[in-house]
Structure 1
Amino acid sequence: MISVARARYVALVLLVFTVLFVSYWPSSMSEIWQAALCDLKEKTSSHNYESWFQNIKCRRREGRQFFLEVRDEFQKAWVEENYLDLIEDSLVTVTGASVEITLDAESTYASKAQHDDVGGAFQIDVEDEPVAARMARMPEEMGRVQMPAMSWDAPAAPEAFGDLADFDATQPAPKAFEERLVEAGLNPRHDFEEFVVGGSNQFVHAACSAVAENPGKSYNPLFIFGGVGLGKTHLLHAVGIEAMKANPQARVVTMSAEEFMNELITSLRQKKMNAFRTQFRNNCDVLLIDDIQFIAGKDSTQEEFFHTFNALYHSGKQIVVTSDKLPRDLPGIEERLRSRFSWGLCADIQPPEMETRIAILEKKAEADGIELSKEMAILLASSIRSNVRELEGTLIRLGAQASLLGQPMSMELARQMLDRMDIDQRNQVNTPRIIEVVAREYGISPVDIRGKRRTRAISKPRQYAMYLARKHTDDSYPRLGDEFGGKDHTTVLAAFKKIDELIEAKDPEMCSIIDRLENLLLG
């Protein structure tokens, strides 16, 4: 009798436990996936979560196999290359069991886009294998790109650029191709063939290639941002040149934001606004605007550009814009414009790494007939790190000086020029310089800061150096992780956030430390 009562008691306890477990543990496919997304949000930065995870859908589940759907082949290639293990870990955390993931792109995305309220800014031709292949080979540098979730009020972009198959290649061009490029505001030398591709610009180069191959369909608008002299203008012109090569009838308009404003002012003064609007809204298939940050605080120019943007976007025309900052970080730009800049793809261009800088110098030397030794290329590339324009300019000046003086290109001549320009590597604010200054101040070696020892005497200076490197250089978190001895980028991110929060809270000790180090660094 006792054993029966005990058995009933155990059964009752098990029943209660089962009810509670089922009530509080996610069971349906939707609940499990939402819980996994929450876990991913905790594990990644908000930037990466919004760019790569937020829009992933769980279409069905068969036992322990989850069938996930992403927006297009571009996102599929990137997630498979970089984040599949992370998604699997989150699903294991939620379900408590091993899982398998099948990732697919929306097979009918292109046809659905016209009926989808989300809009077509992220459309991509999934048959574009060369671009998709390039995407799969992208380096894992997550600070390089922002592909935000589509704004729900973004209108769909019609596919109205024009069928390139309609172009009759047998018809003679009324003008020489190069002359048409110049009339469109394009520099014929700034094409894709002349652009040196490396890890720092591989992603944005591939994005520009995709846009040039499918204007108005892939990534519209394309927003390119980065520091001065890194190649934004070159890529902007390359898009226009490639679009006109594919379709010589394409109407490409290229200008800086300042030129746009000046034309607007002239049109207002001469009462020719109808002609101005016709030029930009009706007679334009591809609009390329450089340095959009220039219109900050200029309300009338922003108003006109806003309506121009809308007219072109709704007509399925391609828009490419460059800037020195992300849309959300542009001061003096109206929110409605910043929002529209984020409808498509935002990709940044980073300072080139050593190998790319050497390749840029060698290509420039070959094009201009300058004899450049390997040793001299290394010297110039190691001295000028963050500005491609300055790097090429230094080579040209060095070649001109050698020619005018009747001297050969020598290492001594190069060192003298660098000394006069005051751009010697030791005087530049870069990550190695920051590590060197911090290490010297705390009586340790740069090897210690890059190493794995976690004693307080080393870990604190390491955190200070990480904070200063993120603040004073354009290096992304993954790149900084490499600079600090192969650390994970989240380690650098955590160090920066920790010190930044103390600075924001005006912690006297931390403010004093950073001020002292910055004085040493900046002189």
Structure 2
Amino acid sequence: MVWQKAKEILRDELSESVYSLWIDPLECSGLQEDKISLCCPDRFFSAYVARNYLEIIQAKLSDVDPQRREVILTLGRGAAQAPAGGKSAQLRLPNVPRNSSSVRALHPRYTFAEFMVGESNILAQSACRSITLADDSIGPCLYINSSTGLGKSHLTHAVAHQILAEAPMTRLHYLTAQQFSYEMVNNIKANTMDSFKQKYHEQCDILLVEDVHSLTGKKKTQEELNELLDSLIKCGKRIVFTANRPPRDLIGIDEEFRSRMAAGLVTAIQPPDISTRTRIVKNKAQQHNLKLEEEHIDYLAQHIKGDIRQVESAIVGIRAKAHLQEGVVDMSLVEQVIAALVGLPKSLSPALIREFICKQYKVSCDELQSRSRKKALTFPRQVAMYLCRKHTENSLNEIGKEFNRDHSTVLHSIKVVTGLTNRNISVGEQINLLSKKLKTL
């Protein structure tokens, strides 16, 4: 038989202990023209063989049978229920560490398959994929920052899901910075810091720490994490941090610790664009078995722009209200839910734009409406008038009233700003940025 002949070759190629522990227990459970199935005692055994011996097994099978077959590792019946004292519990080389992962509760849907990729998050998603593949191209550690609800936790959960599924013997520690601090303090009080250090320094292959911004002012925890980082980086381990701002903007963080966190790839997740938000709405609606018309999907995507958790809240709210209306979803219902969730959409008006410009240029509304011709006031006033004309349907006279000016002054301001944007690149970029900000109000 093909497998028996391959095993004989493997016996000569490998040491006796390796062969008896990792090759001999494998049994051929199926042989087809294009593949051979080898049965493993349990999933940990399967993961270790896949990582360390699958290539040599494939090679020796090819030597026996030139018709190259794909090797499939399967689990034997009852493998998951194997008793602790049974055969599978003994199948461990002396130098193979026991799995000692500590992982916070993982959301079942926070996987790579459920993550909606767009321009705003593609680099972070790709980097997390690299972490699961032990690809060191991103550097010794990965740092992801974003505001709340944009997918940081989804990606770290996805990393944990992937690693535990494909390489369950990986010693993975996943916790928040506050949990790490709490655990460290308890070990200090119990005088058991040696076991704490052993757990993280010697029994850790990948470390995931969320919300490092919460370590502000916690000097002892920062020192301990910094020491741990140094140890893990030197050993080539994988590290992922998340926070609500980039390392350079963290407050009350030790400079050496800040520097180590930024030693690899630092990437931000931005709010998703309209196309990504549309796909998120469709995905969430499908998960909740809620049928939405295209106009409903467009409305949700247009009005929920920040925290994408609000999409799920909106879907749940629409479904609940529709249940009270015999399952009917109309635009009025969708608008009600959105109004309750994120408020009524603001329509841009000259008054709103005037207040916005005052905040951007740090001047008061009274100063902007005054007769002063100071440059520090004239330019913001002209920009405000230009943006009013661009983003509202108001007449020149109506715009002028907001600034105590007549229509001719508004027209002059529009010509001045238009000319500057055409001649001066920095002014043009400034006006474009202000326009973009206005659209998010």
Instruction: Tell me if both proteins adopt one fold, taking TM over 0.5 as the criterion.
Output: yes
Measured against aligned partners, the alpha-carbon deviations of 1:371-415 in whole angstroms (never above 9, x if no partner) come to: 222111111111111111122222222223323554422211111
Question: In structure 2, what is the Cα distance between the partners aligned to 1:402 and 1:268?
Answer: 54
CA distance in 2, matches of 1:462, 1:349: 34
2:272 counterpart letter in structure 1: P
Give the drift of 1:195.
0.2
CA-to-partner distance for each residue in 1:30-74, whole Å, 9 max, x for gaps? xxxxxxxxxxxxxxxxxxxxxxxxxxxxxxxxxxxxxxxxxxxxx
Shift of 1:488: 8.0
CA distance in 1, matches of 2:100, 2:328: 37
Distance 2:246 2:344 in 1: 30
**Cross-structure match for 2:250:** 330
Task: Report what 1:282 is aligned to.
Answer: 202
Give the aligned partner of residue 429 of structure 2. Answer: 492
Look up the match of 1:457: 413
Distance 1:204 1:390 in 2: 21
Match of 2:284 in 1: 364
Tell me how far apart the structure 2 counterparts of residues 167 and 364 of structure 1 sit (CA, whole Å).
Answer: 41
Equivalent of residue 334 in structure 2, options 414, 427, 446:
414
Rounded to whole Å, the distance in 2 between the matches of 1:382 and 1:410 is 17
Closer/same/farther in 2, CA of residues 493 and 380 from structure 1, 3 Å limit: same
Q: How many residues align?
A: 308
Which residue of 1 is the match for residue 212 of structure 2? 292
The within-5 A match list for 1:58-457 is: 165-166=51-52, 169=73, 184-185=103-104, 186-214=106-134, 218-404=138-324, 406-426=326-346, 441-442=384-385, 444-446=388-390, 457=413
What is the Cα deviation at residue 352 of structure 1? 0.4
Structure 1 CA distance, aligned partners of 2:155 and 2:139? 15
Amino acid corresponding to residue 445 of structure 1 in structure 2: R
Answer yes or no: is the 8 Å Cα contact 2:149–2:307 preserved in 1. yes
**TM-score, normalised by the number of residues in structure 1:** 0.51
How far residue 278 of structure 1 moved from its aligned partner, in angstroms, is 2.2
User: d(CA) in 2 for partners of 1:306 and 1:422?
Assistant: 40
Asked whether the equivalents of residues 182 and 188 of structure 1 are also in contact (C-alpha less than 8 Å), the reply is: no
**Rounded Cα–Cα distance in structure 2 between residues aligned with 1:460 and 1:194:** 50
Instruction: Work out the CA distance in 2 between the residues paired with 1:441 and 1:191.
Output: 45
List runs of 5+ in structure 2 lacking aligned partners. Answer: 1-47, 55-72, 83-98, 358-381, 393-410
In structure 1, what residue type is equivalent to 2:51? A
CA positional deviation for 1:354: 0.7
Pair 1:437–1:461, CA change in 2 (3 A):
farther
**TM (normalized to structure 2)?**
0.60
- Is the Cα–Cα contact under 8 Å of residues 288 and 319 in structure 1 kept in the other structure? yes
Q: Distance in 1 between matches of 2:194 and 2:147?
A: 36
Deviation, structure 1 residue 317: 0.7
The answer to whether the 8 A contact 1:204-1:224 is kept is: yes
| Cα distance in structure 2, aligned partners of 1:237 and 1:285 | 16
- Paired with 2:183 and 2:123, the residues of 1 have a C-alpha distance of 33
| SS of equivalent residue, structure 1 residue 195 | coil
Which structure has the larger Rg over C-alpha atoms? Answer: 2
1:173-227 per-position Cα deviation (integer Å, ceiling 9, x unaligned): 7589xxx999622333211100001111122211221222125564320000111
Q: Quick check: 2:129–2:159 contact (8 Å CA) kept in 1? A: yes
Q: 1:440 to 1:345 in 2, by over 3 A?
A: closer
Report the 3-state secondary structure (helix = DSSP H, G, I; strand = E; otherwise coil) of the residue aligned with 1:255: strand
Verify the 8 A CA contact 2:310 2:341 in the aligned structure 1: no
Shift of 1:288: 0.7
After superposition, residues 41-56 of structure 1 pair within 5 angstroms as none
Specify whether residues 463 and 331 from structure 1 end up closer, same or farther in structure 2 by C-alpha distance, changes over 3 A only.
Answer: farther
Q: CA 1:420/1:283 → structure 2, altered by over 3 Å: closer, same or farther?
A: same
Q: C-alpha offsets along residues 310-329 of structure 1, whole Å, 9 cap, x if unaligned?
A: 12111111000011111111
Post-superposition shift, 1:495? 8.9
State the distance in 1 between where 2:231 and 2:344 align: 49
AA partner of residue 389 (structure 2): S
Using a 3 Å threshold, how does the CA distance of structure 1 residues 259 and 200 change in structure 2: closer, same or farther? same
1:328 alignment partner, SS class: helix
Q: CA deviation at 1:266?
A: 2.1
Q: Distance in 1 between matches of 2:416 and 2:75?
A: 69
Counterpart Cα distance in 1 of 2:74 and 2:355? 63
Tell me the SS of whatever aligns to 2:182: helix
Q: What whole-Å deviation, never above 9, does each CA across 1:455-474 have from its counterpart, x for those lacking one?
A: 9724877899xxxxxxxxxx
SS at match of 2:145: strand
Q: Decide whether the 8 Å contact of 1:211 with 1:219 is kept in 2.
A: no
Structural RMSD (CA) = 4.1
1:16-35 → structure 2 map (5 Å cutoff): none
Shift in alpha-carbon separation, 1:427–1:457, aligned structure 2, 3 A: closer
Unaligned runs of 5+ in 1: 1-161, 449-454, 465-483, 500-517
| Kept in 1: contact 2:112–2:155 (CA 8 A) | yes
Deviation at 1:446, TM superposition (A): 2.1
Matches of 1:340 and 1:334, distance apart in 2: 10
Using the alignment, how far apart are the partners of 1:235 and 1:434 within structure 2? 37
Contact 1:280/1:308, CA 8 A, preserved across alignment? yes
Aligned-residue offset at 1:422: 4.4
Identity %: 29
Per-residue deviation, residues 256-306 of structure 1 (Å, max 9, x unmatched) = 111111212222223322222222222211111111101111111111111
What CA distance in whole angstroms lies between the structure 2 residues aligned with 1:373 and 1:521? 25
- In the superposition, relative to structure 1, how do residues 331 and 442 fare at CA in structure 2: closer, same or farther (>3 Å)? same
Q: From the superposition, tell whether residues 182 and 279 of structure 1 become closer, same or farther in structure 2 (CA, over 3 Å).
A: closer
**Residues 408 and 494 from structure 1, CA distance in 2 versus in 1: closer, same or farther, beyond 3 angstroms?**
closer
| In 1: Cα distance, 2:355 partner to 2:282 partner | 30
